[in-house]
């Protein structure tokens, strides 16, 4: 039989490859973005109670209303804009699913999508599987900031969507007020949509604010915003996220969603609705995660790795250009095999394989894990 793949150039992800190498070498896995410290026991108790109380059947397609109401309260409190829980929020099985569904809702074959690289690895396959065309723009190394002149030059009559990600994976860069103003000028009077990946919304450092698209009525009216509860509360395996958009866009999103996952884990939704009532559970996260970032950075300052700026997310980017001239994939493999630490080569986040000799480390780990990993990196 003949078959034409929709993603002919797509292979096994770098995360799968590096995690497999880490497992084989019994290395410390600072590559993939998941915590190794215990999650909140109260949340586990709430999920158990929801199961015992009988919340074990399908949730409503749009998500449990108490959770959507709690999220709406949270967003209004944080971003000073009311969000309607009935028509503007949909609960999804993870942030990546929310991204895919938003892109499938918006894109038609031949549409062009602006993607800033390095980019989270799901973006471009999601674009291509919908028959659209990614238009990649490299962020400015080493700050990983957006060059808006390059964006303006890349926009064409076919431009349908701009993909944003702040705090940024893999670099930890964040949008600044000047970026918001440039974006406003760029899309004003156009039919360009925005997708804003904000799964690390509560993991910002150094006193910087999170500039969500929800804050800005003129931007939100053309936006899908994707969030992750798994990233926020250290339970990535639960796959729980949500999408936020104006009613007219969310209506179309739900048309796609209802014939795909339809709904997601009922007990977790019930538990999260209760857990989120205590604002300290998410307001304490920036300080908690910055403490780990600072701890990791201070310990790694004794090595020959050079840190680049990181103001959010689980990740810190380090240059190894003072250690080796090897391509980053080769250096990452050597790091696992000979030194027992796994990291992600940042060239994997570029379609071109652009190699600036930098690796992504995940510091969302127990301090003892970070200490042991750094002891190994001191020998590099």
Q: What is the CATH number of the domain that holds 371?
A: 3.90.1150.10
Domain boundary at 278, 293, 321, which? Answer: 278
Are 94 and 193 in a shared domain? yes
> What are the tens digits of pLDDT across the range 83-138?
999 999 999 999 999 999 999 999 999 999 999 999 999 999 999 999 999 999 99
Mean pLDDT, residues 37-52 taken together: 96
To the nearest 10°, report the CA torsion of 121, 124, 130, 135: 160
Q: Is 287 a member of any domain?
A: yes
- The per-residue pLDDT for 58 is 97
How much is the average pLDDT of 302-330?
A: 96
Query: 21 with 90, same domain?
Result: no
Tell me the average pLDDT across 72-91.
98
| Cβ contacts of 329 within 8 Å, gap of 6 or more | 345, 347, 348
> Based on the domain organization, do 260 and 318 belong to the same domain?
no
Using the 3D structure, point to which of 258, 278, 298 is the last residue of a domain: 278
Our count of domains for the chain comes to 2
Q: In the predicted model, what is the mean pLDDT of residues 153-162?
A: 98
Cα dihedral 374/375/378/380 (nearest 10): -90
Round the average pLDDT of the chain to a whole number and report it: 96
Phi, psi of 193 (to 5 degrees): -95, 165
**Could you tell me if 217 and 79 lie in one domain?**
yes
In angstroms, how far is CA 93 from the centroid of its own chain? 14
CA atoms within 13 A on the CB side of 103: 30
Q: What's the rounded Cα separation, in Å, for the pair 137 and 321?
A: 23
Residue 148 resides in a domain: yes
pTM beyond cutoff 0.75: yes
- Report how far apart, in Å, the C-alpha atoms of 205 and of each of 27, 253, 293, 295, 362 are: 28, 32, 9, 13, 15
pLDDT at residue 286 greater than cutoff 90: yes
Mean pLDDT of 60-84: 98
pLDDT of residue 33: 86
Q: Tell the burial category of 273 from Cβ atoms under 10 Å away from its Cβ (0-12, 13-18, 19+).
A: buried
Q: What is the pLDDT of residue 9?
A: 86
Domain boundary residue among 262, 278, 294? Answer: 278
31 and 88 both lie in a single domain:
no
Q: Which domain holds residue 30?
A: 14-39+283-377
């Amino acid at each position: 039989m003949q078959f034409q793949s929709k993603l002919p150039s797509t292979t096994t992800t770098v995360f799968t490859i590096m995690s497999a190498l880490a497992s084989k070498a019994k290395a410390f896995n600072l590559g993939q973005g998941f915590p190794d410290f215990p999650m909140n026991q109260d949340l586990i108790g709430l999920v158990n109670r929801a199961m015992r109380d009988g919340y074990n059947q399908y949730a409503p397609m749009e998500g449990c209303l108490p959770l959507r109401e709690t999220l709406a309260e949270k967003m209004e409190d944080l971003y000073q804009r009311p969000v309607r829980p009935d028509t503007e929020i949909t609960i999804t099985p993870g942030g990546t699913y929310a991204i895919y569904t938003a892109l499938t809702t918006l894109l038609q074959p031949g549409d062009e999508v602006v993607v800033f690289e390095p980019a989270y690895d799901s973006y471009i396959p999601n674009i291509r599987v919908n028959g659209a065309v990614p238009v990649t723009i490299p962020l400015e190394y080493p700050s990983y900031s957006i060059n808006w002149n390059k964006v303006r030059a890349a926009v064409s009559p076919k431009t349908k969507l701009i993909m944003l990600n702040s705090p940024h994976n893999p670099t930890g860069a964040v949008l600044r007020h000047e970026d918001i103003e440039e974006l406003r000028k760029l899309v004003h009077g156009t039919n360009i949509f925005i997708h804003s990946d904000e799964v690390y919304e509560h993991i910002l450092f150094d006193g910087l604010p999170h500039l969500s698209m929800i804050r800005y009525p003129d931007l939100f009216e053309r936006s899908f915003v994707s969030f992750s509860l798994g990233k926020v509360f250290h339970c990535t395996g639960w796959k729980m996220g949500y999408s936020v958009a104006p009613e007219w866009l969310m209506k179309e999103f739900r048309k796609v969603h209802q014939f795909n996952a339809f709904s997601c884990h009922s007990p977790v939704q019930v538990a999260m609705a209760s857990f989120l009532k205590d604002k300290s559970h998410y307001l304490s996260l920036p300080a908690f995660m910055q403490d780990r970032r600072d701890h990791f950075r201070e310990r790694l300052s004794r090595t020959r790795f050079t840190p680049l700026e990181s103001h959010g997310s689980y990740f810190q980017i380090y240059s190894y250009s003072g250690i080796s001239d090897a391509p980053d994939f080769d250096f990452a493999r050597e790091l696992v095999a000979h030194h027992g630490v796994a990291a992600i080569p940042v060239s994997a986040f570029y379609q071109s394989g652009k190699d600036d000799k930098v690796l992504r480390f995940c510091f969302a780990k127990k301090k003892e894990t970070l200490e042991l990993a750094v002891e190994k990196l001191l020998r590099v």
